[in-house]
A and B are shown apart, each in its own frame.
Chain A
Amino acid sequence: QVQLQESGPGLVKPSGTLSLTCAVSGGSISSRNWWSWIRQTPGKGLEWIGEIYHSGSANYNPSLTGRVTISVDKSKNQFSLRLNSVTAADTAIYYCARLIIGSPAVDYWGQGALVTVSS
C-alpha cells in the first residue's frame, strides 16, 4: 500500500519561502507514476501546483510559474516543493499526490499539511 507523508514548517513569513517534502513509502518514486502537489483553500478550492517525474521532468501551473520549483530525490524516495515570495494568499492545505500510470488522476494522496503565511 503506497503512503505519502508531507512534512515541513507550518508557518512561513510573508515574502519567505514555503518548503515541503513528501516521503513515499510502499512504492518507488522511480516507478512510471507522475508525482504532484495540490493545494486547497476555502476560497479557491483545489488548485494544482505542479507535477514531476523521476527523471526530473516537471510541469507547473502557469499561475505560479517563476515562484515554484518541484524536485525529486530518488535516493530518499521523496519529492519536494518550494514556493518563493509567499503571501497570505498562499495559506492552504498542501497535499502531495501520486498520479495513476497512464491516466491523469490521483490515486494516492498524502494527509495534507496546513501551511499558514503570517508574520
Chain B
Amino acid sequence: EIVLTQSPGTLSLSPGERATLSCRASQSVSGNNLAWYQQKPGQAPRLLIYRASSRATGIPDRFSGSGSGTDFTLTISSLEPEDFVVYYCQQYGNSPLYTFGQGTKLEIK
C-alpha cells in the first residue's frame, strides 16, 4: 500500500500570502496519478488538481500542482479568505487502488 504523508498538518498564513502544501508518497506514484482536493466544513471534497498538475474545470489559476515520483506540491499563489480549509492528496495505482493523505489544514494567522 502506498502511504501518502501530507505536511505540514496545519499551516498558518495570512490572506494574500503564498501557500505551499506537500504530499510525499512511500513509493513512486505510477503515471503521476496524484490529485488534490479541497474540503470545506460539512461539504464533500472538491477536485482541484489531477495528474499532478492539471487544473480541474472551474478552478482558479491561483491553484497549481507540481511534482513527480514521490514528491508532490500544491501551491496557492495568493490566499483568499475562502481558501482557509482542509486539503487532501490522493494517489492511484497500487493496491488499494486509491489512497488519501491525512490532510493539511490551512488556518488564518
Given A59-B97, A62-B95, A62-B96, do A103 and B51 touch, yes or no (CB 8 Å)? yes
Q: How many residues of B are counted as interface, with CB atoms below 8 angstroms from the partner's CB atoms?
A: 26
B47 at the interface (CB under 8 A from A): yes
Determine if B35 and A105 form an interchain contact, defined as CB atoms under 8 angstroms apart. yes
Determine if B97 and A105 form an interchain contact, defined as CB atoms under 8 angstroms apart. no
- For A46, A61, A105, the residue with the greatest tally of chain B CB atoms inside 10 Å of its CB is A105
A73 at the interface (CB under 8 A from B): no
Report B27-57 residues with CB < 8 Å from chain A CB. Answer: 33, 35, 37, 43-47, 50-51, 54, 56-57
* Residues on the A chain within 8 Å of B96, using CB: 48, 61-63
Q: How many residues of A are counted as interface, with CB atoms below 8 angstroms from the partner's CB atoms?
A: 22
In Å, the complex CA distance between A107 and B90 comes to: 13
Scan A106-119; emit 1 where CB is below 8 A from any B CB, else 0.
Answer: 11011110000000
Q: Specify which of B47, B93, B97, B99 is in contact with A107 (CB 8 Å cutoff).
A: B47
* Residues on the B chain within 8 Å of A104, using CB: 33, 35, 92-93, 97-98
The secondary structure that dominates the A interface is strand
In Å, the complex CA distance between A63 and B96 comes to: 8
Q: Specify which of A45, A51, A103, A109 is in contact with B100 (CB 8 Å cutoff).
A: A45
In Å, the complex CA distance between A105 and B54 comes to: 11
Given A46-B100, A48-B99, do A105 and B44 touch, yes or no (CB 8 Å)? no
A79 at the interface (CB under 8 A from B): no
In Å, the complex CA distance between A103 and B98 comes to: 12
A100 at the interface (CB under 8 A from B): yes
Given A45-B103, A110-B44, do A51 and B90 touch, yes or no (CB 8 Å)? no
Report B48-85 residues with CB < 8 Å from chain A CB. Answer: 50-51, 54, 56-57
* Residues on the B chain within 8 Å of A36, using CB: 98
* Residues on the A chain within 8 Å of B33, using CB: 103-105
Q: Which B residues lie at the A interface, using CB under 8 A?
A: 33, 35, 37, 43-47, 50-51, 54, 56-57, 88, 90, 92-93, 95-103
Q: Which A residues lie at the B interface, using CB under 8 A?
A: 36, 38, 45-48, 51, 59, 61-63, 95, 100, 103-107, 109-112
